Amino acid sequence: MIDLVYVTYNSEKWIENCIKSIVKSDYDKKEIHIVIVDNASIDKTRSILEEMKRRYENLFGEIEIVQNVKNEGFGRANNIGFKRCVSDIVCFINIDTELAEDAFKQLEQEIADSDEKTALWEFRQYPFEHPKIYDPLTGETGWASGAAFAVRRKVFEEVNGFDERIFLYVEDVDLSWRIRWAGYRLKYVPNVKIIHYSYENGVTLKMDQYVYGVINNILLRYRYGTFRDICWGHLIFFREILHQEVMAGAKKKLVLEYIRHYKKIFHFFQHGKYKKNRGEFFPSFIHTDYSINRQGAFYKSSMFDSSSDFDKKPLVSILVRTCQRPEVLRESLLSIQKQTYKNLEVIVVEDGENCAEEMIRTEFSKLKIHYLATGTKVGRSKAGNIAMQKASGKYLNFLDDDDLFFADHVEVLAAALEHSEKKAAYAIGLETSIVVESKKPYQYQIKTSRTAYQQGFDRVMLCHHNYIPIQCMMFQKELFLSYGGLDESVDALEDWDLWVRYSMYTDFIFVEKTTSVYRVPYEKSISQIRQKQLDDALAGMREKHKSYKQLIDVKTIAELYEKTIM
């Protein structure tokens, strides 16, 4: 059995579609227990809830409706609902959502695949995926959005549920961090999908979201932060007061809530007593946010399909070049295995001896992998061309063995191409600088993360320098068949040369979302050697590009001229 907890407050427009999505679920309805807690709504919410209960009470295991006499807030209302739950797994879901048909079956599988130290599973939201960073390999995340997640009942009880002294917007962060404090992990599960209508009217910042975002950030710093963190929290507040008002009346309300927050200081300091024993839990305070975010917070993804529908989508071939380092390759293959887009094949070409063959055969039987080792060294470009020749997909996408995809990479780019006449699309890559501590097993430290390139398609700029990392680009195989592959005479900047050549025949779609990760060396000495190789290759590539004749329309020439005189 699984418990679902919903909180309503003047939610009449959402209830029917929300409940109907549960009805459409392919999960056994008798195993679903629904608890809806209404926070004293004054619209038609209560009557609609009663009607839904009468209509479906014989379909589900149970539907309970709790009527609060006043608005108790998000955290307290969820705690009230939790007390009516009986299952080992409890889902807390916003009422303005609709579940995918296979959401509970996917969740069941994710829970079965998790160890006991994984305590919470955060669902993926459509059309706007929450932008916070997560580990593309394990799914581990620093905190989980309260819009839709499942949690182990015993862990929720252990940490005493939501903190009822927090009224808006960071209840989920606080709960997540207390769970991590207790030694558990949080996991983001992109295959468990919901539609969330939180931004149906656009992405305009709301007054309460702004004010409580600042004030509750200070409260969390009391509980989890250092003295320096707390000072920064107050500094952020005073900066907001001194700067231009973000919306009418915001400063007045911000000052009022700042004065009121002093009544809560003792509560948050008192419940921050475990800071000395938090182990490996290190909270993040990034201005008023709590994690590094990926670019593309409001990139609107296409409406999700069920897993079976993905088989009807065009085949995508992922091209992986590797060279005698199966420990590194394992990570890139894991990130492919976790893709939400299922109609995939993987072409692995090993430049040299077949060191990775056994690992692939024993660990990745679920992936459709075509493996080939060249035997003798042929170079990166030749290996890439072999992969493109072997590929059967309509679309091709490189992923070198030291790069990673986030779970939606293929889904997002394939959808962009399917809805366009253009033949290539690229998204944003997250650059991480690493220090390799061990090659066997492959262990490394991530030192920095940054978005180095987020450049819209500019054919002229692309002729000057490459702003599209190789794993960011998906393109039709037709381009390879018509205009050739990588230049096998070079072993660096070969991807840039390919993009320049393809741009002579098609525009590229720019998807403003971070969907992949590429690594660069952190050590200065290694970076300098790498940069010297690229600089040397650039001179030769400039000479080669003299033979490329690029067609440019008059409008582009005019825009280029305007840039030069500004």
Distance between CA 149 and CA 122 in Å, rounded?
4
Distance between CA 335 and CA 471 in Å, rounded?
12
Segment 501-520 shows an average pLDDT of 96
pLDDT at 169: 82
Segment 107-128 shows an average pLDDT of 96
Q: What percent helix, strand, coil does the chain show, rounded to 5?
A: 40, 20, 35
Distance between CA 246 and CA 3 in Å, rounded?
41
pLDDT at 327: 95
Segment 343-365 shows an average pLDDT of 96
Of the candidates 91, 92, 95, the residue with the CA atom closest to the CA atom of residue 52: 95
pLDDT at 270: 76
72: CB partners within 8 A, 6+ apart: 39, 80, 164
Distance between CA 145 and CA 239 in Å, rounded?
27
The beta strand positions in 388-488, using DSSP E, are 395-398, 404-405, 424-438, 443-450, 473-476
pLDDT at 86: 93
Q: How far is CA 307 from CA 101, 105, 161, 480, in A?
A: 9, 11, 33, 30
23 and 29 Cβ atoms separated by less than 8 Å: yes
Distance between CA 349 and CA 370 in Å, rounded?
8
Distance between CA 299 and CA 314 in Å, rounded?
22
Q: What is the DSSP letter of 108?
A: H
Res. 279 pLDDT band, cuts 50 70 90: low
Neighbours of 379 (CB within 10 A): 18
Rg (CA), the chain: 26
Distance between CA 187 and CA 123 in Å, rounded?
9
Q: Which amino acid is at 446?
A: I
pLDDT at 166: 87
Answer yes or no: is pLDDT of 269 > 90.
Answer: no
Q: How far is CA 258 from the centre of its chain?
A: 33
Distance between CA 121 and CA 366 in Å, rounded?
23
pLDDT in tens, 377-407: 999 999 999 999 999 999 999 999 999 999 9
pLDDT at 272: 61
526 and 503 Cβ atoms separated by less than 8 Å: no
pLDDT at 274: 53
Segment 545-556 shows an average pLDDT of 85
Answer yes or no: is pLDDT of 566 > 50.
Answer: yes
With 0-12 / 13-18 / 19 or more C-beta atoms within 10 angstroms meaning exposed / middle / buried, residue 538 is: middle
Strand pairing report for 2-8 and 395-398: unpaired
Answer yes or no: is pLDDT of 273 > 70.
Answer: no
Segment 549-555 shows an average pLDDT of 83
pLDDT in tens, 62-101: 999 999 989 988 999 999 999 999 999 999 999 999 999 9
Dig out the tokens for 243 from the structure: 């700067």
Answer yes or no: is pLDDT of 305 > 70.
Answer: no
pLDDT in tens, 425-465: 999 999 999 999 998 899 999 999 999 899 999 998 999 99
Of the candidates 342, 307, 337, the residue with the CA atom closest to the CA atom of residue 105: 307
Segment 38-63 shows an average pLDDT of 95
The beta strand positions in 460-566, using DSSP E, are 473-476, 508-521
236 and 225 Cβ atoms separated by less than 8 Å: no
427: CB partners within 8 A, 6+ apart: 296, 409, 412, 413, 472, 510, 511, 512, 513, 514, 515, 516
Distance between CA 141 and CA 122 in Å, rounded?
9
Percent of the chain with pLDDT over 90: 78
pTM: 0.91
Of the candidates 75, 447, 143, the residue with the CA atom closest to the CA atom of residue 281: 143
> If you count them, how many residues does the chain have?
566
Cis upstream peptide for 127 (omega within 30°): yes
Torsions phi, psi of 408, nearest 5? -100, 10
Average per-residue pLDDT in the chain?
92
179 and 119 Cβ atoms separated by less than 8 Å: yes
Give the up-direction half-sphere exposure of residue 238: CA atoms within 13 A in the CB hemisphere. Answer: 6
Percent of the chain with pLDDT over 70: 95
Of the candidates 180, 197, 192, 32, the residue with the CA atom closest to the CA atom of residue 107: 192
Distance between CA 141 and CA 184 in Å, rounded?
11
Report the run of H or E that residue 55 belongs to, with start and end: helix 45-56
With 0-12 / 13-18 / 19 or more C-beta atoms within 10 angstroms meaning exposed / middle / buried, residue 227 is: exposed
pLDDT in tens, 11-30: 999 999 999 999 999 999 99
Q: Which amino acid is at 534?
A: L
Answer yes or no: is pLDDT of 332 > 90.
Answer: yes
Q: How far is CA 241 from CA 214, 256, 282, in A?
A: 11, 12, 29
The beta strand positions in 207-358, using DSSP E, are 316-322, 344-350
pLDDT at 303: 52
506 and 440 Cβ atoms separated by less than 8 Å: no
155 and 67 Cβ atoms separated by less than 8 Å: no
pLDDT in tens, 119-167: 999 999 999 999 999 999 999 999 999 999 999 999 999 999 999 988 7
pLDDT at 307: 46
Query: Can you tell me whether residue 9 is helix, strand or coil?
Result: coil
Distance between CA 8 and CA 44 in Å, rounded?
11
pLDDT at 306: 43
Residue whose token pair is 């500019």: 458
Res. 308 pLDDT band, cuts 50 70 90: very low
Q: How far is CA 516 from CA 9, 97, 136, 471, in A?
A: 38, 27, 9, 7
Of the candidates 334, 341, 332, 293, the residue with the CA atom closest to the CA atom of residue 314: 341
Q: Where are the alpha helices (H) located in 302-427, listed in sequence order?
A: 326-337, 357-363, 380-390, 409-418
Does residue 307 or residue 431 have the better pLDDT? 431
Res. 301 pLDDT band, cuts 50 70 90: confident
Of the candidates 291, 556, 303, 299, the residue with the CA atom closest to the CA atom of residue 427: 299
